[in-house]
């Protein structure tokens, strides 16, 4: 009730101002609550925004104004420009200082922002997206695994992998694929849709794609990454896909594992605790 009354009063005053100044509309920014587009006749539309951690408000208003100007100049309606302005303002407050917001950042938010975020793709759809992003000069990093019980070691590896390029694709062994590997009979512990959901929730991960084969060789050839990442435990073992990636001018990067963390170790600890009760 309180918010509705506040909006009503805001709309009334904004409409009066728009009418007095002979404006087509007035955009009222509301911080984390988004923005309202108010017409001189009193009609209004509210546009929500994605909540963010605010590091610095410097330049947020300028980013909003600039995005509205660019969008309208490109032919967008105000109803289309305001959501873009919300994104630009939100990106600005998540940075320190007055930092330019790039077109690619806006596009990435539109595709992968929390509102309607979807990171898990089939191979054909994923390849099409990667081709479009490569055309803009982005660098594709790829790694793979079962990620059965997500732990800090996984997170560290994925964050380091993401730092090696513009975007990170994670190839995830399907349930059928996990069962072909040399693991205990009760693996995977979590089903593939749950494992994919957990990975997609990580900021470092841009895309998740499932594969049914025992190894990711075929998937790597379709994704064609610029950087192929594995853990340092693969040193000297022959990384699947290395020859293909390097033949295209790409590189393989081995990341040191965080000591004390492994899915097998986590499961052993859980079972031991369970048996001791």
Q: Which residues are identified as catalytic?
A: 62
SS3 content of the chain, % helix, strand, coil (to 5): 45, 15, 40
Dihedrals phi, psi of 12, to nearest 5 degrees: -65, -45
Nearest-angstrom CA–CA distance, 30 and 210: 41
| Distance of alpha carbon 47 from alpha carbon 30, whole angstroms | 10
Beta bridge partners of 44: 38
Instruction: Kindly report the backbone phi and psi dihedral angles of residue 249, in degrees, each rounded to the nearest multiple of 5, phi listed first.
Output: 90, 5
- Separation between Cα atoms, residue 203 and residue 112, nearest integer Å: 10
Q: Which whole-number Å values give the CA distances from 229 to 34, 213, 219, 248, 260, in the listed order?
A: 39, 19, 14, 15, 20
- Closest by CA to 14, choosing from 3, 25, 2, is 25
């Amino acid at each position: 009730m309180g918010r509705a009354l506040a909006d009503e009063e805001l709309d009334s005053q904004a409409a009066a101002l728009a009418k007095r100044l002979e404006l087509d509309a007035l955009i009222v920014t509301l911080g984390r609550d988004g923005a309202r587009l108010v017409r001189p006749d009193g009609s209004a539309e509210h546009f929500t925004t994605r909540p963010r951690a605010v590091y610095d408000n410097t330049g947020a208003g300028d980013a909003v104004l600039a995005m509205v100007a660019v969008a309208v100049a490109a032919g967008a309606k105000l109803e289309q420009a305001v959501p873009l302005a919300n994104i630009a303002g939100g990106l600005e407050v998540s940075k320190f200082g007055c930092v330019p917001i790039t077109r690619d950042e806006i596009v990435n938010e539109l595709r992968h922002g929390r509102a309607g975020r979807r990171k898990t793709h089939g191979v054909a759809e994923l390849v099409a997206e990667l081709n479009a992003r490569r055309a803009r000069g982005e660098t594709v990093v790829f790694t793979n695994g079962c990620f059965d019980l997500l732990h800090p070691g996984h997170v560290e590896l994925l964050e380091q992998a993401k730092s090696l390029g513009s975007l990170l694709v994670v190839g995830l062994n399907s349930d059928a694929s996990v069962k072909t590997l040399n693991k205990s009979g009760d693996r995977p512990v979590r089903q593939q849709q749950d494992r994919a959901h957990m990975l997609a929730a990580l900021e470092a991960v841009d895309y998740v794609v499932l594969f049914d084969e025992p190894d990711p060789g075929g998937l790597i050839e379709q994704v064609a990454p610029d950087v192929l990442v594995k853990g340092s435990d693969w040193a000297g073992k022959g990384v699947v896909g290395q020859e293909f990636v390097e033949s295209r001018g790409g590189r393989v990067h081995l990341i040191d594992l965080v000591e004390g963390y492994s899915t097998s170790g986590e499961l052993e600890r859980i079972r031991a605790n369970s048996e001791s009760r």
